């Protein structure tokens, strides 16, 4: 009986995250999707909004629950009795970051392991930032997020109006 957490900002949740959560739910007896309250990065959605979208996305997975947290990830894992932390790995550039985080977490809590699941090929490029940037420019994100997330993005950008500095632009505009 292995209980794991799948932590992240989920700003917002997309099909890459959902794929990792679904696969974790098949591998482990219990999965807690842990939505980090206040990461260092600037976020678009409030913690309660992100949690609500993740809950909707996890609907129908009986062994998956969703919780917000604000402490260290390893402390949260310990608090809920999880033996491991699941992370998703996309392109090679994720590896260095995840490798450093995994070693730091291991130093803090040697009993809690980090398990990385390789992304599905079709989600390799997918990130919340890309989704936000496309949605901010009124692009079609229907192949990247569930329809309720797409609606939440549209409503959020409508509310923000011209105040969209919260979404860092990279190159999709050029
Ligand atoms: P964080 O701020 O912790 O990186 P994210 O919400 O960006 O939070 O990501 C949460 C987890 O989901 C991370 O392990 C990340 O690598 C993974 N992830 C993000 N995008 C994808 C994707 N397209 N495919 C698989 N895993 C992904």
Same domain flag for 105 and 151: no
Same domain flag for 79 and 100: yes
* Per-residue pLDDT, 94: 86
Residue 169 forms part of a structural domain = no
Per residue in 123-151, pLDDT (tens digit) is 999 999 999 999 999 999 999 999 999 99
Model confidence at 174, pLDDT cuts 50, 70, 90, reads very low
Same domain flag for 24 and 85: yes
Mean predicted confidence (pLDDT) in 3-12: 97
CA–CA distance, 163 with 52 (Å, rounded to integer): 24
Residue 21 forms part of a structural domain = yes
43: containing domain: 3-123
Same domain flag for 16 and 93: yes
* Per-residue pLDDT, 136: 95
Instruction: Provide the b/e sequence for 42-62 (b: ≥16 CB within 10 Å).
Output: ebbbebebbbbbbbebbeebe
Mean predicted confidence (pLDDT) in 51-62: 97
CA of 116 from ligand 1 middle (Å) equals 11
Strand arrangement, sheet containing 3-8: 64-69, 30-36, 3-8, 84-89, 113-118
Same domain flag for 65 and 134: no
Per residue in 76-114, pLDDT (tens digit) is 999 999 999 999 999 878 899 999 999 999 999 999 999
Question: Which residues line the pocket of ligand 1, CB cutoff 6 A?
Answer: 8-10, 16-17, 20, 39, 87-88, 90, 94, 119, 123, 126-128
User: Which residues are the active-site residues?
Assistant: 17, 41, 90, 128
Give the mean pLDDT of the chain: 92
Residue 174 forms part of a structural domain = no
* Per-residue pLDDT, 21: 98
Q: Are 146 and 16 in contact (CB under 8 A)?
A: no
Same domain flag for 66 and 132: no
Same domain flag for 49 and 70: yes
Structure pTM?
0.92
CA of 93 from ligand 1 middle (Å) equals 12
Residue 73 forms part of a structural domain = yes
Helix (H) or strand (E) holding 132: helix 128-136
Per residue in 23-36, pLDDT (tens digit) is 999 999 999 999 99
CA of 18 from ligand 1 middle (Å) equals 10
Same domain flag for 74 and 107: yes
Q: Tell me the best of 33, 68, 90, 124 to mutate to test the pocket of ligand 1, counting ligand atoms within 8 Å of each CB and taking the most.
A: 90
* Per-residue pLDDT, 116: 95
CATH number at residue 57: 3.40.50.620
Nearest to 53 by CA among 138, 167, 140, 145: 145
Same domain flag for 77 and 158: no
Q: Are 1 and 82 in contact (CB under 8 A)?
A: no
Q: Tell me the best of 5, 10, 12, 16 to mutate to test the pocket of ligand 1, counting ligand atoms within 8 Å of each CB and taking the most.
A: 16
Same domain flag for 68 and 135: no
CA–CA distance, 3 with 20 (Å, rounded to integer): 15
Instruction: Look at residue 68 and tell me whether its pLDDT is greater than 60.
Output: yes
For the chain, the domain total comes to: 2
Same domain flag for 29 and 110: yes
* Per-residue pLDDT, 41: 73
Same domain flag for 76 and 28: yes
Among protein residues, the one with the nearest Cα to ligand 1's atom 21 is 16
Residue 170 forms part of a structural domain = no
Residues in the chain: 174
């Amino acid at each position: 009986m292995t209980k794991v957490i799948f932590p992240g900002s989920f700003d917002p949740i997309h099909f890459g995250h959902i794929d990792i959560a679904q696969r974790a739910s098949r591998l482990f007896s219990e999965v807690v999707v842990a939505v980090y309250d206040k990461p260092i990065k600037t976020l678009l959605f409030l913690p309660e909004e992100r949690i609500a979208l993740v809950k909707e996305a996890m609907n129908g997975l009986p062994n998956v629950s969703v919780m917000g947290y604000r402490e260290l990830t390893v402390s949260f894992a310990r608090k809920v009795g999880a033996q491991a932390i699941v992370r998703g790995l996309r392109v090679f550039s994720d590896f260095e970051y995840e490798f450093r985080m995994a070693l730091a977490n291991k130093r803090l809590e040697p009993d809690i392991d980090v398990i990385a699941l390789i992304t599905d090929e079709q989600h390799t490029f997918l990130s919340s930032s890309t989704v936000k940037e496309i949605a901010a420019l009124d692009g079609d994100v229907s192949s990247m997020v569930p329809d309720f997330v797409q609606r939440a993005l549209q409503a959020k950008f409508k509310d923000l109006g011209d105040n969209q500095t919260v979404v860092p632009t990279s190159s999709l505009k050029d």
